[in-house]
Structure 1
Amino acid sequence: MSPRRRSWLTALWLPLLAVGCGDDGGGSGLSPVPAPTPSPTASPTPTPATTTAVSRTNVATMDNGWAMTFLPDGRLLVTERPGRLRLVTTGGVVTTVSGTPAVNAAGQGGLLDVALDPDFASNRYVYLSFAESGSGGAGLAVARGTLAADAASLGDVRVVWRQVPKIGNEDRHYGGRMAFAGDGTLYVTAGERHQGAPAQDLTVTLGKIIRINRDGTIPSDNPFVGTTGARTEIWSLGHRNPYGLVFAADGRLFESEMGPEGGDEFNLITRGANYGWRTVSEGNDGEVLPRHATRPEFVAPLVSWTPVIAPGGMIQYRGTRFVGWDGDFILAGLTAQGLVRVRVTGSTAAEAARVPLGTRIREVEQGPDGAIWVLEDGANGRLVRLDPA
């Protein structure tokens, strides 16, 4: 690289550092490094050409709100990372649901995702992902409990899955997003806990997407069942810090994850596939890493971002309230400070537009009427309803 080019890039990086970076406390991109993002199925995403204006209704203030889901009656369950599960009405009345498991709330840990069982109407099962303390440190876990009829408490709470191993002296990269497939199996993103290389190791569940039955047992058709030494819950590997997980209307599974210094990813997840971390990346990690194009055995992202957007939660929008958005994926953006809309066409994808909101956005969800709800990041982050402007 010429001295003139290096000087220009340094001038570009410094302002980006000032506005924060990808990981929860600022770790997805310590210094975003412009780099090529070759992909066999998509071109790099340029700076978006369009933005979308929305109207906002502030509903409630949360303490580090992390995830949310709508109950059938229209109220929301919202997790707060310090360890509280909240019941929130669309009018902003907030109460606490008791009975949640103890969490390790250091760093990026705590109470994370919340999901309803596909048969919630009959069994009232609620699933929570969280950072759990134990021998050797802390690790991701998933628990299931039964929501009381008055939605004031969880009962019969038990852990159905634990990440292996627990990690000490590190409080980053838990992942923790959950999604149910049409067959009722549960998929969970398990971050690599900032360990790097173990994302390639089938004997551990660091840097993996895992698939389990709803009671925690292992489906017999998982890809590594029968592989000597492999953890049989593993569905895919080579992930870094995955915070978005969505089954699309067509049944395909899509994921988003934070890259290191650049290289945030939007991926199509397939059975047994390897996404390359930390052998390849579209970003760098204190050193220039090889790109996916140099190692075709690893699956390249459909879209990657440098500088980072720092993706949080993700949905596929299904509705007509926001005209022209039906079928698009909506990513919460922490560093992007808004929403990022991605359109998938067959086996390719590209960024379509952004919704600037002026603050770090942790989570996004679609309401029953087609409105979009977001959680702002931080100790006084707001729960906000978005409608077309």
Structure 2
Amino acid sequence: MNSRLLPLHLIAMFACLSVAVRAADSPIEAISDPLPQPIEFGSITVTATPFVRVPRSEDSSDVAMTNPAYARIQYMYPIPDGSDRLVINDLRGLLYITDSSGREPVVFLDIREQGAGFDDSMFPNETGLAGFAFHPQFAAAGTPGFGKFYTTFSASSDSGTANYLDHDAENHESVVREWSVADPSANRFQGSSREIFRIGQFAQNHNIGNIAFNPAARPGDADFGMLYFSLGDGGGANDPNENGQSLSEPMSSIVRIDPLGSSAGRAYGIPADNPFVGQPGVAPEIWAYGLRHPQHFSFDQDGTLYISDIGQAQIEEVNIGIRGANYGWRLREGTFATAFGIGGARPNPVYPLPVVDNGFTYPVAQFDHDEGYAISSGFVYRGSLIPELLGKYVFTDMVTGRIFYIDTVGLTPGGNALISELRVTRAGETISLREEFGFADTYGREVRAGLRLGIDGVGELYLLSKGDGWIRQLRSMP
């Protein structure tokens, strides 16, 4: 039985009944230290070599409601056209182009000038130009995807009509927009655009995130040209609107659509092999669900999808993307139950799983808040500059700046893969990336690292620093 199809009060009732026998014997106690084993440095050591610096940008919000980030750079990806060009997004509304030689970045697209309703003014700076993806046929003249790329961003609520939750758009709306250029080789956007998806956001955080195509899919494959993007639970602590286990709209989900298709009046198509197509009352765009804040995901070269899910108060997750999977939020956090998953307990701590579980899909790796506070971007390393890292999934904690890695061989949901820390050195000394590149947080003004990972066309990894605007390439110790 798919628990997400049941009314939420029944889900809660069943969760309570499943632990009734155990609860009758003794009260369920919170777990004081969910993952007591500390994460140690592994055997791999790297340096972070300056590559390129993006221009300084400014927030549109009031100075008192922001922080001194030099540039809110989020991701760097190659354009899939063999040109060696790399694109970088700044949450403040800019896409830059550079190349693998570290050429000075130039503005490719300033979305603030495009009349798309862009709005990044919402505290605490999670909104803005969140992601971008180029169609796999971007450079293939005569194909449907020629010249097309896509962005995810936040927009003002009065700038369009939402496909979902239009009435709940008190704060802003999350948007996917398609852009079309006549000359894919140009380094400045000239062309047209259209909005293809919009959803209301009742709060300022846990909104739209990353966007991507499966690089392993080939023409003729069912997944070729299908567009994936992530949506959080809409914000607020502990999923107050219970979006995580609601199938009626695609919040808390990995969404999969056909951007070049159409269906039932939508400006996009619904892939026939999406897992919930044809089920009454269910959003057919949903590919997987039960995620709190999946700000980032990435595909490996074989099509395996890795999802980073930022936790509430205890656990940060690495999940493998599985069609139709329910990752458990807000009834689960990592491989643990939440107060909402067992009933009668206080929120924010985690608890032992009930005797009868509900078939959730658990993370392949996880860490608790003794080690970090917010998992960030990650990629399977396929480059050549760090041979020892080949085939390992590398990811960051955006607050502490620690870089972690896991082996990708034999990963299983709930298997708790061993996490090791990547040692970063300068002049032979281990450095703290938070101390080196950090800046004052919006919350409480404590220093945060503000680091993300980017990737180039040959699989090398880069650190993107919001604090100073630099992008640094990771390399083995010389």
Which position in structure 2 is the counterpart of 1:363? 452
Residues 292 and 80 of structure 1: is their aligned pair in 2 closer, same or farther, counting only changes over 3 Å?
farther
Which position in structure 1 is the counterpart of 2:438? none
Summarize the alignment of residues 56-71 of structure 1 with structure 2, pairs less than 5 Å apart.
56-62=49-55, 63-71=71-79
Question: Residue 324 of structure 1 aligns to a residue in which SS?
Answer: helix
Tell me, yes or no, if structure 1 residue 203 matches structure 2 residue 248: yes
- Mark the runs of 5 or more structure 1 residues left unpaired by the alignment: 1-32, 38-43
Tell me, yes or no, if structure 1 residue 119 matches structure 2 residue 137: yes
Contact preservation (8 Å) 1:68, 1:113: no
Which whole-Å CA distance do the structure 2 matches of 1:140 and 1:290 have between them? 33
Contact preservation (8 Å) 1:281, 1:290: no
Residues 293 and 269 of structure 1: is their aligned pair in 2 closer, same or farther, counting only changes over 3 Å?
farther
Summarize the alignment of residues 277-316 of structure 1 with structure 2, pairs less than 5 Å apart.
277-282=329-334, 286-290=347-351, 295-307=357-369, 308-316=372-380
Which whole-Å CA distance do the structure 2 matches of 1:239 and 1:86 have between them? 30
Aligned partner letter, 1:194: G
Residues 79 and 198 of structure 1: is their aligned pair in 2 closer, same or farther, counting only changes over 3 Å?
same
Aligned residues: 347
Match of 2:187 among 137, 151, 159: 151
Which position in structure 1 is the counterpart of 2:323? 271
Q: CA RMSD in A?
A: 2.4
CA deviation digits over 1:230-275, x for unaligned, max 9? 1100011110011221222333222111101120000112111111
Match of 2:88 among 73, 78, 88: 78
Aligned partner letter, 1:240: R
The structure richer in strand per residue is 1
CA deviation digits over 1:74-99, x for unaligned, max 9? 23211111111122344341221236
Aligned partner letter, 1:209: I
Match of 1:172 among 184, 197, 205: 205
Which position in structure 1 is the counterpart of 2:437? none
Residues 292 and 302 of structure 1: is their aligned pair in 2 closer, same or farther, counting only changes over 3 Å?
farther
Q: Which moved more, 1:98-107 or 1:137-146?
A: 98-107
Which whole-Å CA distance do the structure 2 matches of 1:377 and 1:175 have between them? 19
- Mark the runs of 5 or more structure 2 residues left unpaired by the alignment: 1-30, 56-70, 141-145, 159-168, 218-222, 261-267, 340-346, 425-431, 435-448
Aligned partner letter, 2:393: F
Which whole-Å CA distance do the structure 1 matches of 2:476 and 2:103 have between them? 20
Which whole-Å CA distance do the structure 1 matches of 2:472 and 2:106 have between them? 17
Q: 1:309 Cα shift?
A: 4.7
Q: 1:47 Cα shift?
A: 1.2
TM-score (norm 1): 0.81
Q: Which moved more, 1:291-300 or 1:195-204?
A: 291-300
Aligned partner letter, 1:95: V
Which whole-Å CA distance do the structure 2 matches of 1:355 and 1:361 have between them? 18
Summarize the alignment of residues 1-389 of structure 1 with structure 2, pairs less than 5 Å apart.
35-36=33-34, 46-50=38-42, 52-62=45-55, 63-71=71-79, 72-89=82-99, 90-98=101-109, 100=111, 101-105=116-120, 106=122, 107=124, 108-122=126-140, 123-135=146-158, 136=169, 137-147=171-181, 148=183, 149-163=185-199, 166-168=200-202, 170-181=203-214, 182=217, 183-184=223-224, 185-195=226-236, 196=239, 197-215=242-260, 216-282=268-334, 286-290=347-351, 295-307=357-369, 308-348=372-412, 349-356=417-424, 358-359=433-434, 360-378=449-467, 380-389=468-477
Question: Residue 146 of structure 1 aligns to a residue in which SS?
Answer: strand
Question: Residue 230 of structure 2 aligns to a residue in which SS?
Answer: strand
Contact preservation (8 Å) 2:150, 2:178: yes
Which position in structure 2 is the counterpart of 1:10? none
TM-score (norm 2): 0.67
Contact preservation (8 Å) 1:112, 1:176: yes
Question: Residue 52 of structure 1 aligns to a residue in which SS?
Answer: strand
Which whole-Å CA distance do the structure 2 matches of 1:45 and 1:315 have between them? 24
Identity of aligned residues (%): 24
Q: 1:320 Cα shift?
A: 2.8
Q: 1:365 Cα shift?
A: 2.3
Residues 175 and 262 of structure 1: is their aligned pair in 2 closer, same or farther, counting only changes over 3 Å?
farther
Question: Residue 76 of structure 1 aligns to a residue in which SS?
Answer: strand
Residues 361 and 322 of structure 1: is their aligned pair in 2 closer, same or farther, counting only changes over 3 Å?
farther
Question: Residue 243 of structure 2 aligns to a residue in which SS?
Answer: helix
Question: Residue 104 of structure 1 aligns to a residue in which SS?
Answer: coil
Structure of greater Rg: 2
Which position in structure 2 is the counterpart of 1:29? none
Question: Residue 244 of structure 2 aligns to a residue in which SS?
Answer: helix
